[in-house]
Structure 1
Amino acid sequence: MTPEDLRAAVAAGIIDEAQAARLRVLAEGRAGTRAVMPAEDEPFEFFRGFSEIFISIGLVILLSGVTAMLSWFGGFALLTLVPLIAAGVAWWWARYFTLKRRMTLPSMVLASAFGGGVAIFFATALSEMAISVRAVGVLTFVLTAAALAGWYRRFRLPFTAALIGISLLLAIYAATTSFEDVVMGDWGWRGMFDLSENPIFASSTLVFGVGAFLAGMWFDTRDPHRLGRHAATAFWCHLLAAPALVNTVAVSLLNSGGGMALMALALLVITVLALVIDRRSFLTAAIAYIALVLAWFAGDDGDYGRWVFILMTLGALITAIGTWWVQLRAFVMKALPEFPGKSRLPPYARPE
């Protein structure tokens, strides 16, 4: 059986992730671990065919139509409930598209519609209460994250982890800053994520990044062979963690006057960490964000030659790491001493 067969069996509910992993280990043990392991593989599935794209477009239009119809026929009381009703419709349809058809992209659309509907309902209902705007923002996103956690428990959709993470991040931001601070603050956009200029807001981003990373590792260590939903959930956690971590670190380092040297050191640490956990997605998000941060700081005064150097360096780095990922990871993992959890990370090449 191929890894794709095992993933299909897990998705169909024939076996669970633990059983799939044991089958994989048994097969690898008989044939030789490295001989049968797809070394270049980091499973990720956004959609399984154009039919899912077609159905997703239809669902977006249909949900928009349902919302418009409810808004047209309903009074003020019903208008308040329209987002919640739309979220309920998304839950109803997910029972078919997610549980029965097991379609990836339509399930993501329905989960997003559910989260958006719940968030709008809570924001509308809480704004009618005698509480501050900050409290409305925090409660809205915390309750939305809780509702999405219920969605994940019911439908086991890995993408839900991204929606939960975004909701929690927005809740943290709502608690640590305000719209006026962002628009009219003296520290500006670059200072928002600087630990020295705005420690509360910047630290909250850093704490979120650490939390998302630890959540990703929790899921990863439960599915080191990347066969089931735990690994797919970890993918979304790492995709959120990388920008959040780099956000504060990159801006703080550049503002401190360390410049490119410290940025290069930070990128090296991130690269080694990505190799250890075997997550190209983590490194991809980090490198993309570092390029964005550099663009912010260069602004319109950036030297053309400097930008050519940055682009060529980043491009060469990504290409080289992607090409020799397996060899680099084997070197790093062999060089590292034994540490707790090392045996629960994805297997790596062990050249004779």
Structure 2
Amino acid sequence: MSFTFEDLRAAVAAGVLTEAQAASVTALANDRAGKRAAMPAEDEPFEFFRGFSEIFVSIGLVILLSGIATMLAWFGGIALMSVLPLICAGICWWWAGYFTLKRRMNLPSMVLATAFGGGIYLSAITILGQAGLSLRVVVVVSFVLAALGMGLWYRRFRLPFSAFILGLFALGAIYTLTASVDSLGGFVEGSRGGMGGFFDLRESPQFATATLLFGVAVFLVAMWFDTRDPHRLGRHAATAFWLHMLAAPALVNTVALTLYNSGGAGGIGLLVVALVIITLLALVIDRRSFLTAAIAYIALVIAWVVGDSGDFGTWTFILIALGGLITAIGTWWVPLRAGVMRVLPDFPGKSRLPPYGSTE
């Protein structure tokens, strides 16, 4: 019977091995095989569920929570409506002790975490809304309370996905604090800039700057988790994955939209430089999420180069060029990363990034 990398990850998840022990075993196996620096082609593990049973249980949990909420509302009446979501959040915490800690089921745990955070937020916004506070204060405090609740959830259940929900609530609080009425009105009405103006550092400086700082902060936290698990065997790497999913759009959208909206060849040239830097950063940290967030802007650059006339032929060429470029980078990601890492001089933390090597 062969022993696989998936067995190591399962052992770490079950608490049989620590992440450091699993990394040492992996290093020893790679050394004996003569490929210490080599990594599998698919070296960014991502898992929503382990089988259809998790999907089935998740559907059941959603229906069951809906039924319990309906029953409580029916018997409790109006007086219970404010705290009803909070009661459901408490039920989710109780059930997570079984589905997350004991059964270690991924998708049901994600469903329970989402319902827990949503329950805290809905109860908070309902209760605070009756306190005579301004709408902005009510929404911000509700987001903060929900984020704190998700922090407790992560501390108790160590579920990587809960860090993503926590980040969303934090981002919601930041957006509510910094979004002006004018920028919101322009976004809703589709005025000049639209979403671009919303994230443009010149047109919405407070909102866009807050988004940029949020992206930087979350990126640094994600890298802290990444460097604690360079072989990506356990929850630290999984937590980093979800944090990068938050950081990448916040950083890329703000920088790319600001440069693109500046217009002209100069703005496009700076955007190209930014996209190259983003691509190199994605290769260095071995996270494809940053490049995924930049795909739309790569398409905009191609459209500008070929002259976006909006006809069928132009968009066909854009799709072929964009698809070919992304496919090529994804196909040869490992050797491309190996080449970049070998060219780069030593820098602090380089040895704590995922090992690199060409599989060609």
- Aligned to 2:137, what secondary structure does the other structure show? helix
Partner of 2:72: 70
User: 1:327 aligned to 2:350?
Assistant: no
Q: How many residues align?
A: 348
Q: Residue 80 and residue 293 in structure 1: after superposition, are their counterparts in 2 closer, same or farther (change >3 A)?
A: farther
RMSD between superposed Cα atoms in Å? 2.4
In 2, distance between residues paired with 1:211 and 1:292? 27
Unpaired segments ≥5 residues, structure 2: none
Using structure 1 for the length normalisation, give the TM-score.
0.92
Matched residue of 1:33: which SS? Answer: coil
Equivalent residues of 2:146, 2:169 under 8 A apart: yes
Is the alpha carbon distance of 1:52 and 1:292 closer, same or farther for their aligned partners in structure 2, counting shifts above 3 Å? farther
| Equivalent of 2:45 in 28, 43, 46 | 43
Amino acid at match of 1:136: V
1: CA distance, partners of 2:54 / 2:200: 42
Residue 125 of structure 1 corresponds to 127
Q: Deviations over 1:290-313 (max 9, x none)?
A: 659999xxxx97444443333222
Q: Give distance in 2, aligned partners of 1:245 and 1:291.
A: 18
Q: Partner amino acid for 2:323?
A: G
Greater CA deviation, 128-137 or 1-10? 128-137
The secondary structure found in structure 1 opposite 2:83 is: helix
Partners of 1:303 and 1:205 in 2: how far apart? 35
Q: 2:260 maps to what in 1?
A: 254
Of 308-317 and 240-249, the range deviating more from structure 2? 308-317
Deviation beyond 6 Å, 4+ runs, structure 1? 292-295
* Equivalences for residues 130-149 of structure 1 within 5 A: 130-149=132-151
Alignment of 1:281-296 (within 5 A): 281-288=289-296
Deviations 1:35-89 (A, max 9, x none): 8742432111111111111111111111111111111111333111100001011
Structure 1 stretch displaced more, 258-267 or 165-174: 258-267
Deviations 1:150-207 (A, max 9, x none): 0011111111111011111101001011567413566643211111111101111111
8 A contact 1:206–1:244 mirrored in 2 = yes
Aligned residues of 2:38 and 2:356 also touching (Cα < 8 A): no
> Structure 2 CA distance, aligned partners of 1:19 and 1:337?
29
Whichever residue aligns with residue 195 of structure 1, its letter is: L
Looking at structure 2, the residues matched to 70 and 178 of structure 1 have their Cα atoms a distance apart, in angstroms, of: 39
Which residues of 2 match residues 1-352 of structure 1 at below 5 A? 1-34=3-36, 37-177=39-179, 181-184=183-186, 188-257=194-263, 258-288=266-296, 302-349=310-357
Distance 1:233-1:294 versus aligned 2 partners, 3 A rule? farther
How far apart in 2 are the matches of 1:68 and 1:288?
Answer: 42
Amino acid at match of 2:123: F
Aligned pair in 2 of structure 1 residues 62, 177: CA closer, same or farther (>3 Å)?
A: same
**Aligned residues with identical type, % of pairs:** 67
TM-score (norm 2): 0.90
Range with greater deviation from structure 2 (186-195 or 51-60): 186-195
Question: Where does the alignment leave 5 or more consecutive residues of structure 1 unmatched?
Answer: none
1:246 maps to amino acid: V
184 and 256 in structure 1: CA distance in 2 versus 1, 3 angstrom threshold: closer
